[in-house]
Amino acid sequence: MTLSTTLTILFSSFLVTVILAPVGIPLLRRLKFGQSIREEGPQSHMKKAGTPTMGGLIFLLAIIISTIVVAMIFDLFTTQTIVLLLVLVGFGVIGFLDDGLKVIFKRNLGLTSLQKLIGQIAIAIAAFLLLRLGSFDTSIGIPYTDVSIDLGILYVGFLIFWLVGFSNAVNLTDGLDGLVSGTASIAFAAFGVIALFNEQADIALFAFAVTGALLGFLIFNANPAKVFMGDTGSLALGGALAMISVLVKQELLLLLIGLVFVIETLSVILQVGSYKLRKKRIFKMSPIHHHFELSGWSEWKVVLVFWSTGCIVALIAVLAEALL
């Protein structure tokens, strides 16, 4: 994929998002799709109650439109493009239903964990079956080595774990203005570059479409946020990010590029485990971004530190991929 194609997809998805947002945000407000805030959360967040949520619909539309149009123009619409759109839309629908129930019943709980899990598993299996129609590699490699393990049909179990795990990891991270928009755009851009190294132009196109759309959304989602992405956006982004790592055959590299999401998830696991086993909390609150807030950090400081961490690990991953 040429530089002009890369810039075309980045700019087009950015532009579509920037055009849709001023229309979508007032519409979400009129429909009273306001965010419910956890009472046990930081008190500084209570002022965010009522901010339009489900804004993920805005950048999801931008990603879908720009990916399909640009892929058609440059003849890059492939089975892998279909799989990526399937995962993005499928997980987005689950998030949309989850957000919808929260809005309708004015509570912070939507779909049950089991309902979400069943939907995520079904989408992961559908993606696997589509990939198996071609010559899909079912091995998992160790980054920067020639070592790999072929899982065969068991790969479907790994795929389910990977997509469900990272969709929920990104969802957990979505707790501060602009946090996920920034960290996810960095992660998708990194995998876009890696896809270019691998000459997988169709995957690179999708990755940069997501990057451009998120940068456009960040204009409206940065502190103070005019709109939240909701589970509609975060679940879709997590599933799509995991799927990209699978398609570029750098599954485990996602643990580095998505380190912020991994740390956020581990903080929740450690907090819950510690409380159940010892009746003591490790952090003031989990996920860990709230711990830093309650420790006196401003919201902007937490977000900037996490963005910086995402940039550093992404650069390390990309440079290592280029040099090794």
* Cα angle for residues 204, 24, 165 (degrees, 5° grid): 45
* 114 phi, psi to nearest 5 deg: -65, -40
For residue 215, the 8-state DSSP code is H
Q: Give me the residue label for tokens 């939240």.
A: 228
| DSSP secondary structure letters along 231-260 | HHHHHHHHHHHHHHHHHTT-TTTHHHHTHH
3-state secondary structure of 295: coil
Cα 173 from Cα 260, distance rounded (Å): 8
Residues 6+ apart with CB under 8 A from 178: 218, 221, 222, 223, 225, 303
Angle between helices 201-221 and 230-247 (to 10 degrees): 160
Residues 6+ apart with CB under 8 A from 8: 70
Q: Is the peptide bond before 42 cis (omega within 30 degrees of 0)?
A: no
Q: Give me the residue label for tokens 């490699």.
A: 141
Cα 85 from Cα 160, distance rounded (Å): 17
Q: Is 198 annotated to bind ligand?
A: no
Q: Is 177 annotated to bind ligand?
A: no
Contact 238, 169 (CB under 8 A): yes
* 62 phi, psi to nearest 5 deg: -65, -40
Q: Which residues are annotated as a binding site?
A: 171, 231
Q: Which residues are annotated as a binding site for Mg(2+)?
A: 171, 231
